[in-house]
A and B are shown apart, each in its own frame.
Chain A
Amino acid sequence: MSSSHRPALLAAILVSTSFLHSVMASDKADRLFTLKVLPLLKDKCLGCHGGDKEDIKGDFSVAARSDLLRGGESGEPAVVPGKPAESTLLQAIKWENLEMPPKENDRLNDAQVQLIEQWIELEAPWPDEATQQRFRDEEAMAALTDEGQLVATSGGTSQEWSNRRYLPEDLWAFMPVKPVTELLPEDLPREEAIDYFINSKLAAAGLTSSPAAEPAQLIRRATLDLTGLPPTPDDCDRFVNAYSQNPESAWKQLIDRLLASPQYGEHWGRHWLDVTRYADTGGMSNDYERSNMWRYRDYVIRSFNADKPYNEFIVEQLAGDELADESVSRRTGQTNMEDVRLNGNYNQQESEWLIATGFLRLGPWDNAMVEADEARQIYLDDLVNITGQTFLAQTMRCCKCHDHKFDPLPTRDYYRIYAAFSTTHMAERPVPFLPQEDRSLFAASKSHVNRMLQFAVAEKDKILAKQENAARQWYEENNLPYKTEDDRKNDPDEMKPPRYVGLDHVEQGQRKVREQDEWIWNRRLERYEPMAQSVYSAPSYNMAWNGARKLRIQRQKAGDTSPETHILLGGALTALGDQVLPGVLSAISLPANNNGRDPFALTEEVSGRRLGMARWIADPSNPLTTRSIVNRIWQYHFGRAIAANANNFGAKGAKPTHPELLDYLAGDFVQAGWSIKSMHRLIMMSDVYRRDASPLPNTSFNEVDPTNALLSHFPRRRLTAEELRDSILAATGELVHCSGGLPIMPEMNMEVALQPRMIQFSLAPAYQPSPTPQLRNRRSIYAYQVRGQADPFTELFNQPNPNESCEMRETAAVTPQAFTLLNSDQMTDRSIAMALRLQAEQQQLEDQIQLAFRLILSRKATGSETERLIRYVTEMTEYHQQSTPTTVDYPTSITRSLVEEFSGETFDYEEILPGFENYTSDKKPGDVTAATRGLADMCLLLFNTNEFMFVE
């Protein structure tokens, strides 16, 4: 609470009637009088001068301003406003002519005298009782007492909440970031800061840190950490060699090289997608595809690779469309703004901004069977919540129903942010493709979609033809003229054939499936349109009952007005509390505007609310924002954050283990231009990052710091699902680098791929892997993410469910992971590919084993390992002389079964899988020799080792 603007702000916020007061100099003087001068007068003077009306010494009273102006028996005014030198009161308390108060013990000290002098200088105001009370109330609140700290906010729904006290240690995140000068000894260079903070704590705990890791470990650690891929054997050799010459420069060059590699953005972009919940579909009952969501994914990757300043990254994702609107109006004038929106006439920069707002479209949402206002609430609540978690590390959802139980977040603030989003509407917007967006897969993908569409239409037409033949016959038999199904819809029952006339229950079911398929595939043709999943600001949106199907920007009608936002008590749409206007969080006392009246208010215009909020979030003095991002970066480097709940800096989140380090990093981050790459360098150049992954033996580590929170050694971490898959593909040599674009479909467990999956009214189409290894073996971040159908492999290794923001991934070892790593088709295929690579590159078994160790574990095999594995491979090769792998058939069509909703009876239908017609499959165990299978058995083991699964 030391920041200088706080007292003025407190005055403005605390008392609701005071919002009209402007924060001006007179306020300062009034405050000075109430809190400092008046208590002095009462304490030091009033006893003799005015406390007892019957007995006023020297006919001089200090009970009122008029008394002071008049003065005492001398006739001279005691106080001359604005002129301390002429005020006898001041002379008296300075003991210059009179000596007041007369007793030495009561005499005012210099500071107290100065306060009175200052007050006289400021025209000696004497505010009325109510104003005084206001200042006193406020002071009472700002004070830290034994019961805790008060926090000024926009106010809770009860006085008790507004006035409640917090443990100061629970408020760490809301405090301003401490300046570097307060944190570090003056002569300490920036490069040593991290080690200074970490080592001080270790020293205090009496722990010795581990020495630097071996160079071979360091390069594996750094490469996986920055790119999500293992280093190649050549990379390792070069680095180990350079390291032996000059460790510092070798290490620095390695980091620079990795940061410059395009794989960096793919890996760190994935971290961001965990937090923001990326998926290619919308989830819920229909799990509609959100066509072109990949444009947001690629935007994120581009941004990381370009080291886009984080403050810009924030504003673009939260309000890129409003940036584009501003830019368009600068370019064209205001007049045809709406036409530009509808036609998508955007330049490249504007397009990029619009793509960035995909962030606001990442939550699961579908309004089928949900009341309109409730569906809207679900969306807006999602925005408030995800914005709080992502950028501010705040759990806003708690305040949907009530003032926050633990943190200084009133429900009012939740609804002010809700109001800031209340003019935000989902839309698939026309946005031209950018030159850097890869569209090379469009043609092939489109022809596949057309094929599926044509099949569905042809099948549907067959059934309809049969039905209408029967209908014609019915009309004939009833001597009525034939009417089409559409035309007869509203005829009375006896004037038209029965529904589904001529169709048995199988055909009835099939008809529905084909109709669903028709529009599913029709809709997927949108993939090839210049469209982005985005939002736009408008007063209102006319949402269809099945709105999630098609969300297009709507032309506004004249007279549309923005919705009013009220606090919803208990989160219930019917329980309206106070009306609120758009605004931001009040607890960190960072104003969102300069007008002083309501410092946390955002514009009430339809447009610009999100932009204002985004800029407030991206303000360099927003301590939540800056701490949150550096905390996340630290977490991905060390496997644990400084404040361990990266989405929750509240009282119930974990406290920072190194609060000063966190503040230091936050300050440094802003100073370095919000550069994430600069933060990587700072962290990775530290000694603590380079430590060995084991604690020193025989230290008190187990007793003092069993969780390694103090980082005496580098925390070992398990590979993420994507790192695992990508690293295996890299080792086998199958990994294909690309520049993004349409999602690709890796092979997944065939049972799951073809597993029927209910969607509303029907079954979702089967999962068909991409037809060539070139496509399938792209990095995992480019894989199609279906909310209703997770890839069992990546899911098993804890790729997060995209319905919830994931602050940190689970890494627990569960039994099914062992099943998959040992037995799955995918792992079997990779082990064969690995064996084939080894055989292609080396002739002798021993050399093949050595190469396998280098490719998979980034090290040489030891003598005993080689010896043992030679024996193993030899014996397994012998075993495989007799083994008979089955051949693998990829079906080009399958029969589906579904229970018909109307009849409760099961019916079958055929689904085509044209993806398998010209399918380039991976080499299977049956396609290779016993020797290859034997070698593959060893490769599979290496992929299963702890050493491979963990980064050390």
Chain B
Amino acid sequence: MMNGVRRSFLYGLGASLGSIAFSSLLRGDEATAPLALKRPMHPAKAKNVILLFMEGGPGQMDTFDPKPELTRLHKQESKLAFGQENGFKFFVGSPFKFRTVGSNGIEMCDQWQHLADPYIADELCNYRGCQAESLNHPEALFHMNTGSRLGGDPALGAWVNYGLGTVNQNLPGYVVMTELALPQGGPTNWSNGFLPPHFQGTRLRPQGSPILDLTPQSYKSREHQRRALDELAWLNQQHLQSLAEEDAKLQARMQSYELAYRMQSEVPGVIDLSTESQHTQDLYGLDDPETQVFGRQCLMARRLVENGVRFVQIFSGGWDSHDYLQRGHTARIKSVDKPIAALIRDLKQRGMLEDTLVIWTGEFGRTPDNNKRGGVYSLGRGHNNKGMTMLLAGGGVRPGIVGATDELGSSAVECVHPIRDLHVTLLHLLGLDDNKLTYFHGGRFKQLSQFGGEVIREIVA
């Protein structure tokens, strides 16, 4: 704690605190550098995560898990029970046709044009066995993102940074990108929870300042800010010298200003997509209004990971198709298909895919049936906490289909695992053991899985 104290003479005017801060970061001194790199607990298959979160819950039977039986039963009465739903319900066949793509038997609806390329498809693992618990969006979002339905626990990205630290101390270790609107539950989905605040997800904002208040007021130059920081360091140094003994808390705070200054210079470069070639920009669909938003975020994700960000999460909304399923899912798939394919291709070509785990999932799946809405046979689907579908790629994942849902897609029936096992598996791939990655809070050692879980071996290569 006190080892930085004796060097306080370095803090004079003009002497950047940077060198000192950085050396303590390298040392892995937890008091001053909670994000310092840490060794994995066992050999890791993945180092980074890009989590593509389809908020609202995509329909498994309308994306990667074909259910011909539903087509046969289309508009016939359903007696399936989910949650509070009641009244007349009827089955809804998928509006999409399916085909098998690549060499691992991966199935996709015909709306997926770019993912279907065998170069991409052969990297994909389609896991069909996961089961959520909650039937409502925010609770299910909290569950998938933080391991707890109640909200307030640390998010996956916070745990991963807590376990591994981050490579680039000048960038946040956990970056979140959303659409203009925040998902339900908001920042609770990327909260540090009871972990120290350093592990909170930092939102890269789609408009305006990418990080709140990152840059000085427009009428203050960078030189102006440097001068202010030097004056501030001097004032703080005066104060420090007036004390009988020094205090690590005060020094940590002085360092945070220098970190801020470095982050100010680093972030704009990382998020400046104009340095990417036209070819790459087009690959991600930046030239098309329909794919531009998600495409920018996927390209940004690659750049962030490249620059040492440990965990990147992107939210894409609008998957909650209770009605007009065909229109809704067509548009949503279109908006993400090309960018995801580009991301996987780009990572693969740069040799980054093998240690970057890419996940595509929603907070739950959808039901094979629907209620009438306003008295009309509305062709959509309800929330399903028993069956869903997700994709995983790279980062030590075994390509192919794992698990299965029943013939209606109403429930997982093979390789069935709760969300906590998925979390344990993700940590496992990153070289972390959920049972050992604990933090004492509220009377016990807490862990991502809440009470432990098991690795889904079938997913791991």
Answer whether residue B179 sits at the interface, using C-beta atoms and an 8 A cutoff.
yes
- A653 CB–B CB distance under 8 Å: yes
CA distance A398 to B442 in the complex (A): 9
Write out, one digit per residue, whether chain A residues 470-489 have a CB within 8 A of any chain B CB (1) or not (0).
00000000000000000011
Tell me if B198 is interfacial: C-beta within 8 Å of chain A.
Answer: yes
Instruction: Say yes or no: A758 contacts B213, CB within 8 Å.
Output: no
Q: Quick one: which of B196, B211, B219, B332 contacts A812, CB cutoff 8 A?
A: B196
The stretch of A2-10, A130-138, A862-870 that contacts the partner chain: A862-870
Compute how far the CA of A875 lies from the CA of B224 in the bound complex, rounded to whole angstroms: 10
Of B205, B231, B375, B442, which is in contact with the most chain A CB atoms at under 10 Å from its CB?
A: B442
Of the candidates B202, B211, B213, B249, which one forms a contact with A716 in the assembled complex, judged by CB atoms under 8 Å apart?
Answer: B249
Is A545 interfacial (CB-CB < 8 Å)? yes
Against A, the Cβ 8 Å flags (1 = close, 0 = not) of B130-161 are: 00001111110000000000111000000000
B256 and A815 contact, CB distance less than 8 A: yes
Asked whether any CB of chain A lies closer than 8 Å to the CB of B96, the reply is no
Is A506 positioned at the interface, with any CB of B under 8 Å from its CB? no
* A694 and B244 contacting across the interface, CB-CB below 8 Å: yes
Query: Min CB distance, B290 to chain A, in Å?
Result: 10
Of B135, B331, B376, the residue contacting A905 (CB under 8 A) is: B331
A819 touches B211 (CB 8 A): yes
The answer for the CA separation of A696 and B250 in the assembled complex, in Å, is 18
List chain A residues, Cβ under 8 A from B56.
901
Shortest CB–CB separation between residue A380 and chain B, in angstroms? 14
Bound: A755/B203 CA distance, A: 13
Question: B190-221: contact bitstring with A at CB < 8 Å (1 yes, 0 no)?
Answer: 01001011101010010111011111111110
Which residues of chain A (397-415) have a CB below 8 Å from chain B?
A: 397-398, 405-407
B139's contact among A284, A819, A942, by CB below 8 Å, is which? Answer: A284
A756 lies within 8 A of B84 (CB) = no
User: For chain A residues 760-800, which have a beta carbon within 8 Å of chain B?
Assistant: 760, 763, 788-790, 792, 798
Q: B287 within 8 Å of A by Cβ?
A: no
Q: Please choose the segment from B63-71, B118-126, B235-243, B277-285 that sits at the chain A interface, where 4 or more of its residues have CB less than 8 A away.
A: B235-243
Cross-chain contact B332 with A813 (CB below 8 angstroms):
no
CB-CB under 8 A from A897, the residues of chain B are 180-181
Question: Is B260 interfacial (CB-CB < 8 Å)?
Answer: yes
With contact pairs A694-B244, A798-B197, A901-B321 given, residues A822 and B179 touching in the complex (Cβ less than 8 Å): no
Contact of A756 with B186 at beta-carbon distance under 8 Å, contacts A498-B376, A865-B235, A949-B253 already known: no
* Cβ proximity bits B266-293 to A, threshold 8 Å, 1 near / 0 not: 0000000000000000000000000000
Which B residues are CB-close (under 8 A) to A790? 187
Given A648-B443, A758-B183, do A903 and B327 touch, yes or no (CB 8 Å)? yes
User: B439 on the interface (CB 8 Å rule)?
Assistant: no
* B38 sits at the interface (CB 8 A): no
Interface-located stretch among A55-63, A555-563, A655-663, A879-887: A879-887
**A326 to nearest B CB, angstroms?**
35
Asked whether any CB of chain B lies closer than 8 Å to the CB of A604, the reply is no
Check A801–B256 contact: CB distance below 8 A: no
- A285's partner among B136, B182, B240, B264 (CB-CB below 8 A) is B136
In the complex, which residues 611-655 of chain A have their Cβ closer than 8 Å to any Cβ of chain B? 645, 647-648, 650, 652-653
Interface residue B83 (Cβ < 8 Å from any Cβ of A):
yes
Interface presence of A95 (CB below 8 A): no
B234 within 8 A of A: yes
Q: Are B380 and A801 in contact (CB-based, < 8 A)?
A: no
Check A369 against B208 for contact (C-beta < 8 Å): no
Report whether over half of chain A's contact residues are helix, strand or loop; otherwise say mixed. Answer: loop
CB pair A490–B375 under 8 Å, yes or no, is yes
Q: Mark B429-450, 1 if CB is under 8 A from A, else 0.
A: 0000000000010111000000
The answer to whether A905 and B327 touch (CB under 8 A), given A498-B376, A815-B260, A940-B228, is yes
Asked if A692 lies at the interface with its beta carbon under 8 angstroms from chain B, I say yes
Could you say which residues of chain B place their CB within 8 Å of the CB of A407?
Answer: 443
Against B, the Cβ 8 Å flags (1 = close, 0 = not) of A367-384 are 011111000000000000
User: Is B322's CB under 8 angstroms from A901's CB?
Assistant: yes
Contact for B331 among A875, A879, A903, CB less than 8 A: A903
Contact B375 A491 (CB under 8 A): yes
> Do residues B323 and A902 form an inter-chain contact, with CB atoms below 8 A?
yes
- 8 Å CB contact of A718 from B187, B249, B378: B249
Q: Is B417 an interface residue (CB 8 A)?
A: no
- Let me know if A884 and B198 touch, CB within 8 A: no
Partner of B136, one of A368, A701, A803, A946: A368
A462 to chain B, nearest CB (A): 20
Known contacts A395-B442, A758-B183, A790-B187; is A828 also within 8 Å of B217 by CB? yes
Within the complex, the shortest CB–CB distance from A884 to chain B, in Å, comes to 6
Contacts of A200 in B (CB 8 A): none
A179 part of interface (Cβ distance < 8 Å): no
- Chain B CB within 8 A of A810 CB: yes
Q: Which residue of B138, B320, B323, B324 has the most chain A CB atoms within 10 A of its CB atom?
A: B138
Chain A residues with CB under 8 Å of B320's CB are 901
Measured CA separation A706–B327 after assembly (Å): 64
CB distance from B138 to the nearest CB of A (A): 5
Q: B328 to A902, Cβ gap below 8 A?
A: yes
Tier of interface size on chain B: 35 or more
A902 contacts across to B, CB distance below 8 A: 321-324, 327-328, 380
Check A947 against B239 for contact (C-beta < 8 Å).
yes
If the complex has contacts A760-B184, A816-B212, A820-B212, are A398 and B327 also in contact, measured as CB distance less than 8 A? Answer: no
- CA distance in complex: A880, B184 (Å): 43
Question: Is B444 a contact of A652 with CB atoms below 8 Å?
Answer: yes
Closest to A814 in B: B197
> CB within 8 Å of A: which of B78-92?
83-84
Flag whether A238 is at the interface (Cβ < 8 A).
Answer: no
The distance from the CB of A351 to the nearest CB of chain B, in whole angstroms, is 32
A522 interface contact, C-beta 8 A = no
B366 within 8 A of A: no
A789 B443 Cβ-Cβ under 8 A: no
**B1: chain A residues within 8 A (beta carbon):** 706
A899 x B182 contact (CB < 8 A): no
Whether a CB of chain B sits under 8 angstroms from the CB of A752 is yes
Q: Does A893 interact with chain B (Cβ within 8 Å)?
A: no
With contacts A398-B444, A648-B443 taken as known, whether A696 is within 8 angstroms of B256 at the C-beta atoms is: no
A residues less than 8 Å from B231 (CB atoms)? 868-869, 872, 941
Q: How far is the CA of A751 from the CA of B208 in the complex (A)?
A: 7
Residues of B within 8 A of A757 (CB): 181-182, 186
* CB atoms of B232 and A945 under 8 A apart: yes
Q: Please, what's the 1-or-0 string for B248-261, where 1 marks a CB less than 8 Å from any CB in chain A?
A: 01101111110110
Residues in chain A near residue B255, CB distance under 8 A = 813
- B87 CB to closest chain A CB (Å) equals 12
- In angstroms, Cα B257 to Cα A862, docked, is 24
- With CB as the reference atom, state the residue of chain B lying closest to A750: B208
- Shortest distance from the beta carbon of B8 to any chain A beta carbon, whole Å: 13
Cβ–Cβ contact A696 & B244, under 8 A = yes
Check B212 against A749 for contact (C-beta < 8 Å): yes
Shortest Cβ distance from A697 into B: residue: B244
Chain A nearest CB, measured from B180 CB (Å): 6
Q: Is the CB of B228 within 8 A of A886?
A: no
* Contact of B405 with A by CB under 8 A: no
Partner of A751, one of B138, B151, B205, B377: B205
Say whether B253 contacts A813, CB under 8 Å. yes
Give the chain A neighbours of B257 by CB distance below 8 A: 818, 822, 944
Assembly CA distance A941 to B235 (angstroms): 9
Q: Are A756 and B375 in contact (CB under 8 A)?
A: no
Name the B residues within 8 Å of A825 (CB-CB). Answer: 217
Cβ-neighbour of A823 out of B214, B253, B317, B324 (below 8 A): B214
Measured in the bound complex, the distance between the Cα atoms of B216 and A883 in whole Å is 13
Q: Which of A366, A650, A751, A868 contacts B212 (CB 8 A)?
A: A751
Q: Which 9 A-B pairs have CB atoms at the shortest separation, nearest pair first? A: A904-B331, A899-B318, A395-B443, A369-B136, A904-B328, A818-B260, A756-B181, A694-B244, A902-B324
19 contacting pairs across A/B (C-beta < 8 A): A364-B151, A368-B136, A371-B84, A496-B375, A652-B440, A751-B207, A751-B208, A760-B137, A813-B252, A813-B256, A815-B263, A818-B257, A823-B215, A876-B227, A880-B219, A885-B217, A901-B318, A940-B228, A941-B232
